[in-house]
Structure 1
Amino acid sequence: MPATRERAPGLRAAAADPVVRLGCVVALVLVVLVLAPVIGLAATTLRPDGIGAWADVLTGRLAPSLFHEPLANSLLVGTATAVGSVLLGGSMAWLVVMTDAPARRTIALLATVPFALPSFALALAWETVFRNDLVGGRVGLLADLGVVVPDWIAWGPLPISATLVAHYYSLTFLLAAAALATVNGELMEAAEMTGASRLRVARSIALPVVAPALVSGGLLAFAEGVSNFASPALLGLPVRFQTLSTRLYGAISTGETARGYVLALLLIAVAATVLFASNRLAGGRRSYATITGKGGRRSRVRLGPWRVPLTVLAVTLCLATTVLPGLVLLASSFARRTNSFLGGFTTHFWTGESDPGIAQGQRGVLRNPQVVDAVLTTVGLGLAVAVAATVLGTAVGYAVVRLRTRHERAPRALAGALSTLSYLPFLIPGIALGAAFIAQFGRPIGPLPALYGTFALLVVAGAAYTLPFAAQAGRSAVGQIAPDVEEAAVMAGAGLARRAGRIVVPLAARGLLAGAVLVFVNIVRDLSLVVLLVTPATPLLSVLTYRYASEGFAQFANAITVIIVVISVAATVLARRLEGAAQPWQEER
């Protein structure tokens, strides 16, 4: 009883703390925004009219085509994406950070660009070049020139995996480069002085340091490959190569919502398991102390006669995954005949008026009201989600950073809950999260009307989807502000709102703005989240691109993709400038 009386004042004091109150409000918002849709999705499948879908998907007569084969295909694509991303990203990181290769800054810059591009941009570029006549319609550039393109190169797991590797190897590159940059050159030189070979030095010193980053990057690439929708839809569906994401989309779009929801839950389970393992592996090995109080020199491996060939190979691979796809899409958008440079070029698909003899009378994308509306809607959605996610992410970051400095158990537990809830959307694939929001908000809830097909649902779903990025930006920005700056304002009588408006936001504005731009880019280029949520009343560029590509209007699809790429890359460059953080490999020593 005395212990209870002792704790009561502490709990009352915590409840009176404005930061604790803010944390409770934010936690409630996150529960509604993140947990409720997933719980609602699961509850929908447990109703009498939905419980049978579990048997249909897992053990029924259609289970092989509904789940077993798509799961095997997803695991195949995910594994290939992970292995390719580790090999390509890790090799690029080693070349940039650890060797004396020329043009390291150029390679580093180009290696970070692919992740800013839409994944369907690389898939469309691949189809433009390698498409053959297996599924009918116009062939690609190579087949148009008389080159025989095998089916396994044009369609199926190889092109899907290749385009996903080209998109996601940037993840492994960034993680591995950051880890290699901490390797002390003096340790490597000392090992070489003892007679150890370069191979043994790399295996015994550099590899243990970078191994967690490589494993983490590989598992992240695996999870992204398993859940990606765009590449399997464009390069797999024409030949009936189904993955979990495409099967989920097909089930919901054809009215089999219960089966689609079950597939969404299974996809969440697969992706969450992999990402949880990645988090454990990335955070589990902490015994390699490579950053000390002593100065260290960067010891670069001399490549000798391999210096120029390896640099040329790296630059070529970077250009093939960044510049070349963009050039292919841009050039093909001007081609008079689909995927053919032999029939001449025209600006019709960009600026042409309606002509019954071309593309069924459709106008160029810059004159098409639907495309113009999609541009405005996409940019508006990106800005709205950026504002909403940044406000919420800043609140999460502020509450987590300040509550962790408290000595009481309750505020620290609240900080942990907020951190977990803000990270949770990262474990949910975009198309599965879209299905969860349909299940939760597709029907009226009390006085709240059904939100399906509205711009508001897109903003809410987008804010939830990008919350991990915004919350991380908020934690990083607020964490740089010393608590004593606010303590002086508290002593002057300033409340939480005034401190936030006059101190926290102005001081953290640079980092928060950079995070907002990254959120904007993610929404503008995303297809997985919005493909199930968009209706004709809310057209978006990414969905319009997918529909044009599916209907065979390649020039229109490529032209719109170029517009998305320009917006995404411009915003990414702006974010990098705002971030202002120099990469470690850019510093000459």
Structure 2
Amino acid sequence: MAVTSRPPAPPAPPPPGRGGAGGRLWRGLTLLRSPVVLLGTVTAVVLAVLVVAPLAGLVATTLRPDGLTAWGDVLASPLSRNLFYEPLTNSLVIGFATAAGSIILGGGLAWLVVMTDVRFKKTIGLLASIPFALPSFALALAWETVFRNDRIGGRVGLLHGLGLDVPDWLAWGALPISATLVAHYYALTFVLVAAALAGVKGDLLEAGEVAGASRARVAVSIALPVVMPALVSSALLAFAEGVSNFASPALLGLPVRYQTLSTRLYGSISTGQVERGYVLSLLLIAVAAIVLFLSTRLVDGRRSYATITGKGGRRRTLELGRYRPAAAGFALTAVALTTVLPAVVLLLSSFARRTNSLTDGFTLHFWTGASDPAFAQGQRGVLRNPQVIEAAATTVLLGLAVAAAATVLGLAVGYVVTRLRGAPLVTQALTLLSFLPFLIPGIALGAAFIAQFGRPIGPLPALYGTFAILVIAGAAYTLPFAAQSGRSSVGQISGELEESAVMAGAGMTRRLGRIVVPLAARGLLAGGVLVFVKMVRDLSLVVLLVTPATPLLSVVTYRYASEGFAQFANAITVIIAAISVGATVLARRLQGAAQPWVER
């Protein structure tokens, strides 16, 4: 009987985890088929369109013949001093002043509420965290309402109206701009430093005192090094924000021709000198990027101190003794001047019959009045003005649309970064692209979107002047906040839950819809609310993108203020502040963030 021999079976492909070229190829093919890799690739492409493409378009525009001429005009021509060097100097002065003031005020208040037995900790902590939620132009308008003098004619402030001589240096220029920015950004320093100080346990301080060190030496040698990374980070972030802010320099500097890089950029583009504006945008991005790079290097290069260990510790507060009333008085005065007083000034001045005067009677006309040619040049009250109502609706709609888009992108970034293993290029690309908008000042990013999407691209029409470009630019601008929220929310969900679902046959879409999104909803919703607040109060990003077809409250406010209608501008600012603060309080409740000044 003949025996038929079978050909040998082909070797089985090496299973994952085995070495050799075949194993690596198999793992690579398996990884490419992974839904998480596909999601990460699609997300990276979307982020590239949102972030890289506008910057590339901005650079490409400045490399054309007209752009090259603009580089020469800005950097090496008789116009360079007025176009770049003087605005750069002014921006750096304001940036340094903002950083120093934020550290002194925010760091000092954080030390009082966390490290001492000062009274009214809850009140001080709450009020000290509110200014960052307010529009920066709210504080600028409040300052102008009080300190404006008659240098440029027209209306005057409360103090000048009472017969007091307000000097120019107090009414206009570097000092008022820096003061309003400090009042706005010190809240960021307060939150960061308070969180760092909360990790300093009493055992550390007691150990220093047992060794014979004085309280001052303990504070300098133990507490200060622990919070130094937070101090350095917040100082340089405040510096970058001060350099790139548009609203305060525009309201308190432009009337007396005090130019910064942001206002000079806005002036160049709004007057048709777009190539010069694009060059200034790139230079402003470079300044901000250098500052944040130095921030990262300084923080990473410092020694780290572990203050959270497996051993329990108790918080120890410094007893102020007879200085306790004075400390409480200082803290309450500081938060009242930066939070309560500006709100009161803006609200009362919006009812003032005569601009910036609280002694000539009050009226509801600027809120609810009908059109009267003999009053406010026929302008209706803000609650009856169709333009303001349309701007309010557009603003809320924009905030919701950007919040939804940014939250979806943030969830995708967070899911891929926390769940993907074995594809470092994808995760690194997503991390870099999601952080990149943080290096770009808002007004420069707006200029980049005009350069890229202001003209047709193939079959796609020009987007400038449409609601779509506002949503796209807003999603790119707020991406770092949404991505951070997505990473933290998804990172808190154990991978074991999804592994169990995979064993039950659930695909990635079902896992996202049934497990990840419901469990991360609290953090994602809180992040979405913060994005909404940022868009509602922002002026820098949208000031170049808004047209009469897409009015927004922040831009309408700026135009009212520029045209001398202070009551209308103040009334709209109160509305924006109410929306921003209300949404911020909601976000804080949703996050349930630990507040070191709250005694539990």
Q: What TM-score, normalized to structure 1?
A: 0.98
Which residue number corresponds to residue 336 of structure 1? 353
1:412 Cα deviation from its structure 2 partner: 2.2
Q: 2:110 aligns with which of 93, 100, 125?
A: 93
Is residue 2:260 matched to residue 1:255? no
Partner of 1:366: 383
Corresponding residue for residue 138 of structure 2:
121
Aligned to 1:517: 529
Stretches of structure 2 that go unaligned for 5 or more consecutive residues are 1-18
Measure, in 2, the Cα distance between the counterparts of 1:276 and 1:106: 35
Correspondent of 1:508 among 500, 520, 524: 520
**Count of residue correspondences:** 582
- CA distance in 2 between counterparts of 1:281 and 1:492 reads 48
186, 195, 214: which one pairs with 1:169? 186
Q: Which moved more, 1:144-153 or 1:285-294?
A: 285-294
Q: Do the aligned partners of 2:62 and 2:279 also contact (CA within 8 Å) in 1?
A: yes
Displacement over 6 Å in runs of 4+: none
Judge which range, 296-305 or 511-520, deviates more: 296-305
2:100 is matched with 83
Amino acid at match of 1:477: S
Q: 5 Å matches for 1:436-585?
A: 436-585=448-597
Distance 1:563 1:334 in 2: 14
Matched, 1:390 2:407: yes
Cα deviations across residues 75-133 of structure 1 (Å, max 9, x unaligned)? 00000000000000110110011001011111111111000000000000000000000
Residue among 124, 146, 152 paired with 2:163: 146
Query: How big is the shift at 1:282?
Result: 2.9
What SS does the aligned partner of 2:359 have?
A: strand
Equivalent position of 2:364 in the other structure: 347
SS at match of 2:191: helix
Output the CA distance in 2 between the equivalents of 1:399 and 1:587.
Answer: 38
Q: 1:159 aligns with which of 162, 176, 182?
A: 176
- Structure 1 residues 95-104 or 520-529, which shifts more? 95-104
* TM-superposition CA deviations, 1:198-240 (whole Å, max 9, x none): 0110111001101111111100000000000000000000010
CA contact (8 A) 2:173 2:258 kept: yes
Cα distance in 1, alignment partners of residues 296 and 511 from structure 2: 34
Q: SS of the counterpart of 2:93? A: helix
Pair 1:25-2:42 in alignment: yes
**How many Å separate the matches in 1 of 2:67 and 2:514?**
52
Which residues of 2 match residues 67-466 of structure 1 at below 5 A?
67-403=84-420, 406=421, 408=422, 411-466=423-478
Deviation at 1:467, TM superposition (A): 0.5
TM-score, normalised via structure 2 length: 0.96
Q: CA RMSD in A?
A: 1.0
Instruction: Check the 8 A contact 2:226/2:304 in 1, yes or no.
Output: no
> Partner amino acid for 2:199?
T
Q: Which residue of 2 aligns with 1:36?
A: 53
- Alignment partners' CA distance in 2, 1:89 and 1:284: 24
Residue pair 2:149, 2:171 contacting (<8 A) in 1 also:
yes
Identity of matched residues, %: 74
Amino acid at match of 1:234: L
1:270-302: CA deviation from partner (whole Å, max 9, x where unpaired): 011111221233334353111111111111111
Letter in structure 2 aligned against 1:84: G
Letter of the structure 2 residue corresponding to residue 19 of structure 1: V
Supply the distance in 1 between the matched residues of 2:33 and 2:166 (Cα, whole angstroms).
Answer: 70
Q: Secondary structure at the match of 2:318?
A: coil
Tell me the alpha carbon deviations over residues 232-268 of structure 1, each in whole angstroms, 9 at most, x when there is no partner: 0000000100000000000000000000000000000
- Matched AA of 1:541: L
Distance 1:465 1:484 in 2: 34
Secondary structure of 2:358's partner?
Answer: strand
Q: Which moved more, 1:106-115 or 1:223-232?
A: 106-115
Q: Give the SS at the match of 1:49.
A: helix
The residue type equivalent to 2:196 in the other structure is A
Shift of 1:421: 0.7
* SS state at 1:557 partner: helix
CA distance in 2, matches of 1:422, 1:284: 24
